[in-house]
Amino acid sequence: MISKKKKLVVIDSNSVVYRAFHALPPLTTKNGDLINAVYGFLLVFLKALNYFQPDYIVATFDLPGPTFRHQKFKDYKIKRPPVPAGIKEQLPKVKEVLSFFNVPIFEKQGFEADDVIATIVHQASEKIKDVEIIILSGDSDSFCLINHQTKVYFLKKGVKEIILYDENKIKERYQLSPQQLIDFKALKGDPSDNVPGVAGIGEKTALKLIKDFGSLEDLYSAIEKKEKMQLNEKLLEKLKKNKEQVFFSKSLIQLEKNVPVDFILKNYFWQEFDQEKAIEILKKYEFNSLIEKITGIMSKAETKTEIKTKTLF
């Protein structure tokens, strides 16, 4: 059942573009422009609009160049392959499409899109208690932001299999709270980002440790106090030896919630977008089959009571 709360959709654009690019064949326009990632992005975008009927929408992007995490750890993400040229050339097209849908873009040099998302979520949820936030993403890093106000509309596979994660869904999958996922990853490491963790501690052991002790802080407090613990000596020695590295890993995994971005929710009232402009950009990229989806979404939006919020913050 769709909530009656005001809804804010925050798009993790790079992750959705990446999923779309790899899920769809290399579609091109008559002029030979590659547009498979743009098309896949739009499929997911329009599906989210139709399902959530949001009041507000913003999109975030990564910017090229190092982030503050690279400054802390020079080998951060060093094993990641280069972004395919096919994705790079389509990112400006995705931004163009979003501009025609009147969706503002947030990005900040030195930070990842995940940090920008965390900042927007933090500001919105702190200042407005009756807003429901939906993060549209193909990256599970956003799971740690889930709370009673925030959910993640997650691309599990390709652009068709999408799951809505809330606190209960996270508990069902990991047996942990969303916030505990940070400590869990810090222990086991995150190979995709080249975050080290503790050598020899895998998912099963890391999961049990966080379930049993609640957090890294409580785990190491118990170790330092020499409390009676059901840990074998080999594991205990690994934890002691790697304490500094574990907390360093946690500092890399934690999302920054104070990125200097100017976010004022009332400025991003989505229902003010121009339907004719949206259709114009769809025709430009020969997405004629999506035009019907636009008109369907707009007809739903028009049935909603349009309440302009005076001053949210």
Would you say residue 164 lies in a domain?
yes
Give residues with Cβ within 8 angstroms of 222, minimum separation 6.
213, 229
- Specify the CATH number for the domain of residue 248: 1.10.150.20
Q: In terms of domains, do 14 and 81 share one?
A: yes
The reported pLDDT for the residue numbered 302 is 54
Q: Among 76, 95, 82, which Cα is nearest to 37's?
A: 95
Mean pLDDT of the chain: 90
The reported pLDDT for the residue numbered 9 is 96
- Specify the CATH number for the domain of residue 12: 3.40.50.1010
Residue-range definition of the domain harbouring residue 220: 180-253
pLDDT grade, residue 228 (50/70/90)?
low
Q: In terms of domains, do 123 and 222 share one?
A: no
The reported pLDDT for the residue numbered 266 is 82
295: pLDDT strictly greater than 90: no
Please state, in angstroms and rounded to a whole number, the distance separating the CA atoms of residues 56 and 309.
Answer: 11
The string of DSSP letters for 107-125 reads: --TTS-HHHHHHHHHHHHH
Mean pLDDT of 120-142: 91
pLDDT grade, residue 304 (50/70/90)?
low
Beta bridge partners of 34: 28
Q: In the chain, how many domains are there? A: 2
Mean pLDDT of 79-88: 93
Please state, in angstroms and rounded to a whole number, the distance separating the CA atoms of residues 171 and 135.
Answer: 18
Q: In terms of domains, do 285 and 227 share one?
A: no
Q: Which of 253, 279, 305 is the last residue of a domain?
A: 253
Q: 176-190, 200-214, 220-234, 239-253: which range is least confident on average?
A: 220-234
261: pLDDT strictly greater than 70: yes
Helices assigned H by DSSP within the chain: 13-23, 36-52, 68-72, 85-88, 91-100, 113-127, 167-174, 180-188, 203-213, 216-224, 233-241, 243-253, 275-284, 291-303
More confident position, 134 or 199: 134
Provide the residue count of the chain. Answer: 313
Q: In terms of domains, do 52 and 123 share one?
A: yes
Q: In terms of domains, do 214 and 129 share one?
A: no
Q: 112-116, 129-133, 272-276: which range is least confident on average?
A: 272-276
100: pLDDT strictly greater than 90: yes
Give residues with Cβ within 8 angstroms of 113, minimum separation 6.
12, 13, 14, 15, 60, 61, 62, 107
SS3 at position 183: helix
The reported pLDDT for the residue numbered 177 is 97
Phi-psi region of 303 (alpha: psi -120 to 50; beta: other; left: phi over 0): alpha
77: pLDDT strictly greater than 90: yes
Would you say residue 279 lies in a domain?
yes
Q: In terms of domains, do 58 and 166 share one?
A: yes
Mean pLDDT of 9-31: 96
Would you say residue 60 lies in a domain?
yes
The reported pLDDT for the residue numbered 312 is 37
- Provide, rounded to the nearest whole percent, the portion of the chain with pLDDT above 70: 91
The 3-class SS string of 263-296 reads CCHHHHEHHHCCHHHHHHHHHHCCCHHHHHHHHH
Please state, in angstroms and rounded to a whole number, the distance separating the CA atoms of residues 73 and 251.
Answer: 10
Q: Among 116, 92, 86, which Cα is nearest to 25's?
A: 86
Token representation of residue 229 = 């613990």
Would you say residue 236 lies in a domain?
yes
